[in-house]
Amino acid sequence: MPADKFNKLLSLIALCLGFFMVIIDVTIVNVALPTMAQNLNVGISALQWVVAGYALTFACLLLSAGNIGDRLGAKTAFLWGLALFVLTSLGCAMSSVIGWLTFFRFLQGAASALLVPTSLALISASYADTEERARAIGIWAAVGGLAGASGPVIGAVLTTWFGWRAVFYVNLPIGIIGFLLTLKYVLNTTSSTKSHFDFAGQLMGVVSIAALAFGLIEAGRNGWFAPIVISSFGIFIASLMAFLMIEKLSITPMLPLKFFRSSTFSASIAIGMILNMAAYGELFVLSFYFQQVRGYSVLMTGLALLPLIGMGVVGSYLGGRVASAIGAKLPIVIGLTMGAVGFIAMLSAGVHTPAYVILAWPLATIGFGASFTMPSATIAVINAVPDGNAGIASGAFNASRQIGSLLGTAIFGTIITASSHFVRAMHCTLIIGAVLYMCGSLMALIWIKKPIKIL
């Protein structure tokens, strides 16, 4: 293999390792949640913050992380992200109370925010050819699918044999290897952006998303009309309006609102949110369904979730290849429609479902549909913005996805917490997931077009 291709391969491996850690820490943690609840003596609402806290800081800081990567160099930001992720994983593993675990999960989300947009920006800069870039993004997405697929099984094995803390210790060797490969083989990007940091926009973004998440999660414990819940929603609306006003008036906004003139960009951002809201919200619910309703062990739960997560490997890779050949629109429509069918078929799940095999194909359909869609939506977003803004675009897209994860965990978890009948509440979340995916499919059909660069 020529030296140039070999260096590019090792560079891609380094960038994919960072993304691998980000995704595996979603699925590997979910399967360990019931064990954490017993060990730390907490309920579902407290564990919502272990999941949602990670998604919260991830989502809140993605836009700034993409902007920082574009301004200071994506390689530098990526290296800082790897180092912080390793340190916060160590902190999570050593936590003895739920408060410290949640705190380090918040910081871990911040590290993830540095890793995802910068890895995409570095891939975009490494491949000038559009077709090669699409294939590389497809591989990057497939690695995310592999991380999701291996997460439940690895998490189940580690939790069963070594305890739940091992699901965080596993990040240490992955992060260190990624750091060393990045130092040697990844080329840095340069940026002409010398503008000031959009502190006001970042602050309002954090406040708005945090207030929304807090209100949704606390509604499960205190009721939708509790003063603290209503106040949270009020803060969310006020801070969101302030954020939009700041971004409109700012000379150097963290999220240029002109990008939304592109229907492709706008629809892809919405689809990213829908993807994660349904998929990760349901993953949170299903982890409890298999262990608490069907009585599966931790290891059996990991294996039971394998069709849902495992199809992400095949779906992500095929989605990237198909999108590079025929464009992003059709793969998004196909993927979301398949996912909606899977959600509806999953309604057969209950307390006395005759055999697990009946549930395996709906789980596989949901997993394939979501993963088949993701690389196409990613490609559409990046190609819809001017050159040199890949970090901001990927940051916006992944922020929308993490906000979706946050909303899915908060809303689906609140539905489960507020209901006295678990299976009935789970069926409600499945119907919501199907409706969301069909709405996303219609958005793609109507608004995804061949991208026109915004100047």
DSSP string for 98-138: HHHHHHHHHHHHHHHHHHHHHHHHHHHHH--SHHHHHHHHH
High-pLDDT (> 70) share of the chain, %: 94
230-240 b/e (C-beta count within 10 Å ≥ 16 → b) = eebbebbeebb
Give per-residue pLDDT as tens, 333-343: 999 999 999 99
Mean pLDDT value across residues 60-72:
73
Q: What is the pLDDT of residue 429?
A: 97
36 neighbors 167 (Cβ within 8 angstroms):
no
Q: Token pair for residue 349? A: 């799940």
More confident residue, 237 or 72: 237
Top-tier CATH class for 3-198+250-447: mainly alpha
**How sure is the predictor about 426, in pLDDT bands with cuts at 50, 70 and 90?**
very high
Indicate the range of 153-167, 217-231, 266-280, 329-343 predicted with least confidence: 217-231
Q: What is the pLDDT of residue 450?
A: 65
Name the pTM for this structure.
0.79
**How sure is the predictor about 17, in pLDDT bands with cuts at 50, 70 and 90?**
very high
Q: What is the pLDDT of residue 212?
A: 87
Amino acid letter, 281: G
Q: What is the rounded distance in angstroms from the CA atom of residue 384 to the CA atom of residue 223?
A: 42
Mean pLDDT value across residues 387-400:
77
Indicate the range of 60-64, 166-170, 387-391 predicted with least confidence: 387-391
Q: What is the pLDDT of residue 335?
A: 96
Give per-residue pLDDT as tens, 412-424: 988 998 888 999 9
Residue 424, sorted as left (phi over 0), alpha (psi -120 to 50) or beta, turns out to be alpha
Give per-residue pLDDT as tens, 124-145: 777 767 677 777 877 887 787 7
276 neighbors 404 (Cβ within 8 angstroms):
yes
Q: What is the pLDDT of residue 137?
A: 79
Q: Is 231 helix (H, G, I), strand (E, B) or coil?
A: helix
Q: What is the rounded distance in angstroms from the CA atom of residue 101 to the CA atom of residue 94?
A: 8
Q: What is the pLDDT of residue 238?
A: 97
Q: Which of 300, 288, 270 is nearest to 404 (CA)?
A: 270
Q: Which of 283, 315, 317 is nearest to 405 (CA)?
A: 283
Mean pLDDT value across residues 254-276:
92
Q: How far is C-alpha 86 from the chain's CA centre?
A: 19
Q: What is the pLDDT of residue 455?
A: 38
Mean pLDDT value across residues 254-269:
91
Mean pLDDT of the chain: 86
Q: What is the rounded distance in angstroms from the CA atom of residue 362 to the CA atom of residue 184?
A: 43
User: Which residue is associated with the tokens 């959009």?
Assistant: 198
Q: What is the pLDDT of residue 439?
A: 97
